[in-house]
Amino acid sequence: MPKKRNANNDSWDPKAVSKKIKATRDTDLEEFLVIGIDFGTTYSGVGWATAEDFGNDQINFITIWPDADLEEAKVPSTLVYTPEGTLSWGYQVPFEDKDRLSWFKLLLLRDADLPKEIKESEPLLRARKVLEKLGKTPVEVIADYLRKLWEHALEIIAKARSSTLVDLLKFHVVLTVPASWKDYARRAMKDAAKRAGITSDRPAGETVLSFAMEPEAAALATIWEKERHLKEDDVYMICDAGGGTVDIITYKVGSLNPIELHEAAGGEAGICGGMFIDEKFRLVCKARLGRHWFNLTLKGIGEIMQSQWEHGIKTIFSSKNDKKKHIISVPAEAFATKDDMNDLSREPKIIDGRIYFSVSDIKKAFDQSFAKIGELVSRQISTSAPYPVTAIILVGGLGSSPYLYEYLSTKYKGKPEVLQAGGTKPRSAICRGAVYKGFMDRLNGNPTGLSARAHMSVVSTISRLSVGVEIYQPFRKGFHREEDKYWEPLEGKYIARHQMRWYLKKGDVVMAAEPIKHLFYQLFGNESNKTEITIELLQCELDDPPSRRDGSVTKMGSIRCQISHLVKDFEDFVSAEFETCKKMSYEVDMVPSGASTVFTLHFKGKKLGTHECQLDLT
């Protein structure tokens, strides 16, 4: 029976990078177009750059969207399927459409990974109902939205640089995902991206699709803004406050030539973003209007929640002037008579159909989410010790909130300092960082080594889970379980099954540039006709993973490798019965990289190609 065993002070200058790229004949980087996609729960954005753009520190953003009145950094993550079979998306979708789909990104998560308030939220319940009516899966709906986003982005890019030039460029697409997402959700997102046509065949060659964690992308963008002021051992916490999740990640600055970032604490995430603040404000309005609220149509609610709240009060609200009144004009349809349009009996007062909210009234909408954000930040500060945090940098849609800045500044009293992303603008920081990540990936693969002296990169991360494989070990009485005891006839001894070899344990510091290697072997008897070996890749989310495979260990994927053409190179092995058998010794390497994990299998010192070794994450 075959078995596997364990056998054993110059800042980065983008113009300089561009010059090195152009001077290097061994790399085709200048023929690449990097496109960063920030697909968010409530809003999405796209950034892009050629190598020349990148060298001039110019990241381009899509700001023109179908049916948008003004240029906007992002487009709503909304979708509706019309009875005629067409698709409307983004700004084309009216708030009052009863089949309007929103928050559908969260449908990729299993119920067990969603908080109760999310599972029971009106937008998510409506999304599930619409999907059931349409007979569509979350992956199909996300693919439909991404297809519209992708096609529009390509159209805008082609207008900016000519379709002929764009056709000659190879694409490297970086899609951002929340740091809190588990592997199954990332795999589903990859499937959706492929269905959307993002990786479709192009004359210029294969499109590379990679993933970046949202807070890592935000960190690359915002820390680059500060690169001229960086000092070794500075510690920056990036608080990416988006519509759905708030992701926090902390980096310590290492070398400055090149700029190297080390993750100082395992990232954290909470589902406490802007959409929960919106929902709280909706409930505040509903409670104040009482029975009048139920007279509002969806269009009327949209006038309040989108026009006046989301694009008005929410974006500018500050707690500094506690005498200020924030006025919401309620559509006339809410009131049956003119008398109903006035209610001075309690605060906030309603005068001529307008609600006069005080600062303390508005704070109620923010309180719960901000308290959770404060807890996340405090835990991260504690976890990052002994490295004191230099500054907290706010990015994301909610990151531009003046009130969030005030809230955290007051909470920490300047230690650490709280900053809002400036040059990248908080709403576009993730797109910008995704484009940076694409070029960093390309530079890291530059065979000339020129990039090794001229780039910024994340060189170490903190493992968020344990990853390993199941192995056999020589059986030790009193150490291994009797139920795992198994007689191995080829070696003539008892072995213990179901044991674990962990490549990474949760909380380990992982050097991104250094693969983690383990040696294994399998034995094949003379009558064995096996043509393929399969290595299961396993994961565990416990803080202390077990040494034996149990219910806490789940399958992450598998490596399958054809071996029939390799048998001639196997070693001879004499069994306990003096039978000449075959022994395949091989090495499995793991390289964690941001939102993905890459495994490779080496035999006789040679890395097996993609046709010989397939990483299956299904």
Same domain, 403 and 472: no
Same domain, 485 and 521: yes
- The range of the structural domain enclosing residue 404 comes to 222-267+371-428
**pLDDT tens digits, residue range 90-121?**
999 988 788 889 889 999 998 888 877 778 87
The answer to whether position 457 is within a domain reads no
Same domain, 323 and 383: no
Last residue of a domain, one of 320, 344, 365: 365
Average pLDDT over residues 162-180: 88
Tokens of 195: 């269905």
The answer to whether position 110 is within a domain reads yes
Same domain, 434 and 423: no
The answer to whether position 454 is within a domain reads no
> Which of 69-83, 236-250, 470-484, 588-602 is predicted with the least confidence, judged by mean pLDDT?
588-602
Q: Identity (one letter) of the amino acid at 30?
A: E
Same domain, 202 and 305: no
β-bridge pairing 466-474 and 417-420: unpaired
Instruction: Inform me whether the pLDDT recorded for 514 exceeds 80.
Output: no
The answer to whether position 129 is within a domain reads yes
Number of domains present in the structure of the chain: 4
Average pLDDT over residues 331-341: 93
> Which of 61-70, 406-415, 557-566 is predicted with the least confidence, judged by mean pLDDT?
557-566
Same domain, 421 and 485: no
Q: 232 with 610: CB under 8 angstroms?
A: no
pLDDT in the model for residue 321: 84
Q: What percent of the chain has pLDDT over 70?
A: 89
pLDDT in the model for residue 589: 86
Same domain, 122 and 177: yes
Last residue of a domain, one of 333, 365, 397: 365
pLDDT in the model for residue 3: 43
Average pLDDT over residues 194-223: 88
**Tell me, what CATH number does 559's domain have?**
2.60.34
The answer to whether position 490 is within a domain reads yes
Q: 35 with 46: CB under 8 angstroms?
A: yes
pLDDT in the model for residue 451: 38
pLDDT in the model for residue 446: 45
Same domain, 563 and 508: yes
Confidence band (pLDDT; 50, 70, 90) for 144? Answer: very high
Average pLDDT over residues 546-557: 91
pLDDT in the model for residue 459: 80
**pLDDT tens digits, residue range 270-315?**
888 898 999 999 999 999 999 999 999 989 999 999 889 988 999 9
pLDDT in the model for residue 322: 85
Instruction: Inform me whether the pLDDT recorded for 244 exceeds 60.
Output: yes
Phi, psi of 150 (to 5 degrees): -65, -50
Confidence band (pLDDT; 50, 70, 90) for 21? Answer: very low
> In whole numbers, what is the pLDDT of the chain averaged over residues?
84
The answer to whether position 417 is within a domain reads yes
Average pLDDT over residues 387-391: 90
pLDDT in the model for residue 5: 41
Rounded Cα gap, residues 454 and 255, in angstroms: 12
- Tally of residues, the chain: 618
Rounded Cα gap, residues 255 and 259, in angstroms: 5
The answer to whether position 50 is within a domain reads yes
Phi, psi of 457 (to 5 degrees): -155, 160
Rounded Cα gap, residues 343 and 346, in angstroms: 7
Hey, which of 176-180, 272-276, 457-461 has the most confident mean pLDDT? 272-276
More confident residue, 79 or 123: 79
Query: Which residues lie closer than 8 Å to 365 by C-beta, 6 or more apart?
Result: 277, 278, 280, 281, 284
pTM: 0.76
Average pLDDT over residues 454-474: 82
Same domain, 513 and 573: yes
Same domain, 304 and 388: no
Closest of 219, 267, 226 to residue 247, by C-alpha: 267
> Which of 69-73, 326-330, 342-346, 596-600 is predicted with the least confidence, judged by mean pLDDT?
596-600
Coil vs helix vs strand at 111: helix
**Tell me, what CATH number does 150's domain have?**
3.30.420.40
Q: 258 with 271: CB under 8 angstroms?
A: no
**pLDDT tens digits, residue range 593-610?**
655 677 888 888 877 643
The answer to whether position 8 is within a domain reads no
Same domain, 480 and 549: yes
Last residue of a domain, one of 336, 365, 394: 365
pLDDT in the model for residue 529: 77
Same domain, 402 and 498: no
